[in-house]
Structure 1
Amino acid sequence: MAVLDGQGSFSEKWLSVGEKKNVPFTAGSRTDGSLVRRITEGCRTAGADVVLVVRPSAGTAPPADRLPPADPGLVALPPPLLLVTANLEGAVLFPEPGYALVAGTSAFLAGAAPAGVDQERALFARYARAAARKWPGLEATARSFPPRRVAWKHPEAVPTDTSTGRQLALMRDVAAGRCTGAEFAVGWLDARRRSQQQGERVRDPLETLLDRVFSLLEDYSIDPLFKEPGDLSDDELQNAVTELLLKAE
């Protein structure tokens, strides 16, 4: 129960340990597969094998059920509800119908909020506006958790010291022949993961550009030993990235 404060919200003390961040998500009247997948994937990336199921009530500390993350017993539970990883790395708070709050360390959120904190917050804000008639309180919740960064639209707007900036720098390097295809692929995919973990946000046309590079790398084998027929060669990868850069810049 140290996860919650006296008002039924995540406690500042718990959030401060491991620099946990808070993200709102859509929810219905009961837990569903989508919400359970967030705690399940969060458990996987945070190394937890048990979920504590707590039903908070004022002035009491109720016992917690202990279930495996993928247990079907986590589905169709009504609010108020708290799902916590046994190692306290992350939690899902389902206070009332309409939304849930997911909070945790970067390791937990890598699974529970794979699009990144800012992107997930932006998605929730759009949902809150669309569902305002059914759930009028959602817009206030969205305003409580605004994205921390702007969403970059064009390559020239991206700061060079960001992970997204690193992705673009690597694209220029491989286009100019300053790195091999394998070096580009390893560095670019690592920068993409870091960008998502750090909550960096992009929007079209930059989002489409980066998604197309990711699709190219799905058809490229970093290790020549695992190269399959139809995989891109280094030259083909270089030419494709160069063409994308020319269109974008």
Structure 2
Amino acid sequence: MKKRELLDRVLATPDSFSASWLAEGGKHQAPLLPDQKGIGRRTVERMLRGTREVSAGHILVTGVDGVTGEEPVGQVPPLQDDVLAQVARSGAAVLLVTADFGGALLARPEFGLVAGTAPFLRAALPEGFHRACAEFDRYARRVRHEMPSAAAIAERFPAARASWEQAKQVPADSHVGEQLRLMEALVHGEVSGPDFARQWLGARRSSLELGERTRGRLTRALDEVFYALEDYAIDPAQREPGDLTDEGLRERVASALEH
């Protein structure tokens, strides 16, 4: 296959996937943070995980900018060093595609895009769609003056700016979703009080850092859990009279879930 043929099949523009290619097999896409220097191991490893998950055999590699019609596509096995070497020869912007055309990764110095079938994306995007969008949105806001192209990409994925009022609206792969999952696990005895406290507070910090937003009764429910944890000593040895017990914490969390 020639590089121009590959680009015409998978891309609509140098910074977007083709709608017809995305429609094949019901593919989805998400933005990716760029590697700090060129296209490195972190980005390539996503492609390798996705390719291995779908047993695609090998990866097609081409540069994106300045490609003529007769240049052959590079074909490499899903091995990190082999792919990195091919990427290094392909230029600043690179398109990686699985041999079965089920997944692809477009990497540019300012941003990345990954797309594919559900099995491919589960492996290539383990953090999930929402978290990837939220992280990219935060990055794009930070570099909007130096890299306006990143801000334009972020506008195409507005999920990061969603605001939720009910638990059923919250994506499972968000940090708020993780908080809700932990609350259910505590109420059903699937996690201890101390483990719940550490993990829930960690998820809350990550949620705030990424700008995830809640409103109304969901905000009140999460705040109720936060206030309960202020009255709870994670280390039982440091528990004082009046502090919440594990059972008291479980009751407060159960009450928050009911609201």
- TM-score of the pair, normalised by structure 1: 0.62
Please state whether the residue corresponding to 1:82 is helix, strand or coil.
strand
Letter in 2 for 1:138: A
How do 1:112-127 and structure 2 match up within 5 A? 112-127=124-139
Structure 1 segment 106-145 matched on structure 2, within 5 A = 106-145=118-157
Aligned residue runs from structure 1 range 10-49, under 5 A = 10-27=17-34, 28-49=36-57
How far off is 1:90 after superposition? 0.6
Q: What is residue 4 of structure 1 aligned with on the other side? A: 10
Counterpart CA distance in 1 for 2:146 and 2:171 is: 39
CA distance in structure 1 between the aligned counterparts of 2:139 and 2:160, rounded to whole angstroms: 18
Q: Which runs of 5+ in 1 are unaligned?
A: 182-200, 210-236
Q: Which residue of 2 aligns with 1:53?
A: 61
Contact (CA 8 Å) 2:161, 2:213: kept in 1 or not?
no
Q: Helix, strand or coil for the counterpart of 2:10?
A: coil
Task: Show the 5 A alignment for 1:94-243.
Answer: 94=107, 96-147=108-159, 150-152=162-164, 157-159=166-168, 175=187
> Deviations 1:134-154 (Å, cap 9, x if unpaired)?
3232111111222188354xx
* Local SS of the residue matching 2:42: helix
Q: Deviations 1:171-196 (Å, cap 9, x if unpaired)? A: 66984xxx896xxxxxxxxxxxxxxx
Decide whether the 8 Å contact of 1:39 with 1:83 is kept in 2. yes
TM-score, normalising length: structure 2: 0.60
State the SS of the aligned residue for 1:147: helix
Q: Cα deviations across residues 110-139 of structure 1 (Å, max 9, x unaligned)?
A: 111122222211210100111224323211
1:92 Cα offset (Å): 0.7
Larger fraction in helix:
2
User: Is the alpha carbon distance of 1:239 and 1:53 closer, same or farther for their aligned partners in structure 2, counting shifts above 3 Å?
Assistant: farther
Query: Are 2:89 and 1:74 aligned?
Result: no
Q: 1:162 to 1:24 in 2, by over 3 A?
A: closer
Give 3-state SS (helix, strand or coil) of 1:93's partner. Answer: strand
Counterpart amino acid of residue 10 in structure 2: L
Distance 1:36 1:241 in 2: 43
Q: Which has the larger radius of gyration?
A: 2
CA RMSD of aligned residues (A): 4.0
- Of residues 66, 87, 90, the one that matches 2:103 is 90
- Count matched residues: 197
Amino acid at match of 1:44: R
- Report the CA distance shift for 1:172/1:141 in structure 2 as closer, same or farther (over 3 A): closer
Identity over the aligned pairs, expressed in percent? 30
Letter of the aligned partner of 2:71 in structure 1? P
